[in-house]
Copies of this chain bind each other. A is one copy, B any other.
Amino acid sequence: MIFLFLVFETNPFNFSLKLCLRGLVAEKEASVEGITVKKEVDFSEWYNQVVLKAELADYAPVRGFMTIRPRGYAIWQAIQDYFNQVIKSKGVRNVYFPLLIPESFFKKESEHAEGFAPELAWIERKEGDEERVAIRPTSETIMYDAFAKWIRSWRDLPFRINQWCNILRWEVKQTKLFLRTREFLWQEGHCVYETEGECVKEALMFLGEYKRLAEELLAIPVFDGEKTELERFAGGKATFTLEALMPDGKALQMGTSHNLGQNFAKSFGLKFLSRNEKEQFAWQNSWGFSTRLIGAVVMVHSDNKGLVLPPRIAEHKAVVVPIIFEKNREKVLRKAKELATQLKEVNAFVDDRDAYSAGWKFNEWELKGIPLRVEFGPKDLEKKQAVLVRRDTGKKTIVKWSSLKKEVKKQLEEMQENLFKKAEKFLKESTVEVSRWNEFKRAVSEKKLVFAPFCEKTGCEEEIKRETTATSRCIPFNQKEAKLECVKCGSAASRKSYFAKSY
């Protein structure tokens, strides 16, 4: 009997030559395939392949819908766990409001109604049911109708709730898993305050928490600021946004918070008895992020071998792959399990499946984005060591058993930091500040994030969009006062804006 053991280090993500150990693996191994296009060559197809082959999501039978598979949902759960802790510490409580919203509610706030009208999915009327109802595209209207009932006095304020739910917006032309689907999952926070000052302050505070989530959990650097009138939430007074730059030069909105002012309060009769015993309309904000974040993580960090996940959101942060030969088989397996137990804190597991070769497993877990691989064979058993391989750099480190746990934790932290730094470097290198229109156009065509003085007029922004397809992503907060000329129309401008194409 001959046992083969080969690993193709140079091109492991497209591993077509399969190895048969003990003759068991032919059928399954033949069906596994790595990513077949390069990120730098066909970004869109590369993204689809990573999402599908890492088994994060799949297309659903109804056009525009997606199924979030266990590996994708685990990322969402990591984000939920993190953010539930955050909002709990801010006095926000989770709730669940109905899926269906009456037609009359949409009409109460006219801008809101107009903004969402094309996106609504209506339910076929049943006999005896009077009013037409639609699936929620967001929950402002149905929530604020209830708030008006529940909130009576300044003693009930601030009032802060959050909802994790599914959302439906029909107007999606071309499906892109996680990024453009008719249904998606999100959280929507909705708060009510006595004063506008408090309302704006907390809208910005929640945006700040989104920034921490993006940077510290997802390892994605962001830039933030205010949306222009054109990009503002329908019915809101101001929209604050967090944006990230994707490797293809398009910006992706990572979360928004809205100062709704008293607009909805007036439409829904949300009044309270103030401290000086007068009835007054409440101030409101709302804030949300969605499963789009998973798409951003994939785009920013992954590579031509497949998914790369920041360790903090990886369900299993390490996999122990035993390298098995008949000789010492049991001993290697036993010790591999021991090592995984030592690494319980990072949710490590042993891939002890008989039906697959070690080389096949290396490829599979690279494709599926396990941050650290622990290789462990007979030689390692002898030398009381293991070999760590980092997913982001491919760097190998030989580690003694005694320092394995410490080294694994250290490398996971380094990987988290490295992913952020790489993305930050890309963002910096991709950002160009310009003041003239021809520079602006060149920068957009070179897929840069453009920073330029802007008059903030809707007509001018539409003109820019028409000529370049780029839009204002956000106008940074706290800019120094300056007398500027709009990059497009030359009229007076007091602030600069980030521009890019966007998802």
Give Cα A96 to B63, complex, Å.
16
How many Å from the CB of A145 to the closest CB on chain B?
6
Partner of A142, one of B60, B73, B100: B60
- Mark out the residues of chain A between 28 and 74 whose CB falls within 8 Å of any chain B CB in the assembled complex: 28, 31, 58, 60-63, 65-70, 73-74
Q: Flag A94-134 by CB within 8 Å of B: 1 or 0 each.
A: 11111111100100000000000000011110100101010
A460 to chain B, nearest CB (A): 34
Whole-angstrom distance between the Cβ of A162 and the nearest chain B Cβ: 9
Is the CB–CB distance between A70 and B94 below 8 Å?
yes
Contact: B145 with A61, CB < 8 Å?
yes
Q: For A126, what are the chain B residues with a Cβ–Cβ distance below 8 Å?
A: 121, 170
Query: Which residue on B lies nearest to A277, using beta carbons?
Result: B27
CA A123 – CA B65 in complex, angstroms? Answer: 14
Residues from 73 to 102 in A contacting B, C-beta threshold 8 Å: 73-74, 76-77, 93-102
A168 at the interface (CB under 8 A from B): yes
Q: Which of B67, B145, B355 is within 8 Å of A146, CB to CB?
A: B67
Closest chain-B Cβ to A148's Cβ sits at a distance in Å of 11
A74 touches B98 (CB 8 A): no
Main SS at interface, chain A: mixed
User: Interface residue tally of chain A, by bracket?
Assistant: 35 or more
**Which B residues are CB-close (under 8 A) to A61?**
98, 102, 105, 142, 145
- Which residues of chain B are near A105, meaning CB under 8 Å? 61
Q: Whole-angstrom distance between the alpha carbons of A503 and B126 in the complex?
A: 24
Q: Are B62 and A97 in contact (CB under 8 A)?
A: no
Would you give the shortest CB distance from A303 to chain B, in whole angstroms?
Answer: 25
Question: Is there contact, CB below 8 Å, between A166 and B168?
Answer: no
Kindly report how many copies of this chain are found in the complex they form together.
2
Asked whether A334 is an interface residue with its Cβ less than 8 Å from the other chain, the reply is no
Task: Give per-residue flags for A145-157: 1 if the beta carbon is below 8 A from chain B beta carbons, else 0.
Answer: 1100110110100
Chain B residue at smallest Cβ distance from A161 = B70
Residue on B nearest A96 in the bound complex, by CB: B68
> Which of B67, B146, B149 touches A98 (beta carbons < 8 Å)?
B67
Contact with B along A189-223 (1 / 0, CB 8 A): 00000000000000000000000000000000000
Q: Is A183 an interface residue (CB 8 A)?
A: yes
- Contact with A129, one of B58, B63, B95, B135 (Cβ below 8 angstroms): B63
Residues B122 and A94 in contact, CB atoms below 8 Å apart: no
The residue that A166 contacts in the complex, of B60, B76, B93, B166, with Cβ under 8 A, is: B166
Chain B residues with CB under 8 Å of A149's CB are 58
Q: Which residues of B contact A353 (CB under 8 A)?
A: 155
Task: Given the known inter-chain contacts A70-B93, A93-B70, A124-B123, please indicate yes or no for A98 contacting B161, CB distance below 8 A.
Answer: no
Per-residue interface assignment for chain A, residues 162 to 186, with 1 indicating a CB less than 8 Å from any chain B CB and 0 otherwise: 0001101010000000000001010
CB-nearest residue of chain B to A93: B70
Q: Contact residues of A with B, CB < 8 Å?
A: 27-28, 31, 58, 60-63, 65-70, 73-74, 76-77, 93-102, 105, 121-124, 126, 129, 131, 133, 135, 142, 145-146, 149-150, 152-153, 155, 161, 165-166, 168, 170, 183, 185, 273, 353, 355
Q: Give 5 nearest A-B pairs by CB, closest first.
A: A70-B93, A68-B96, A65-B98, A122-B124, A60-B98
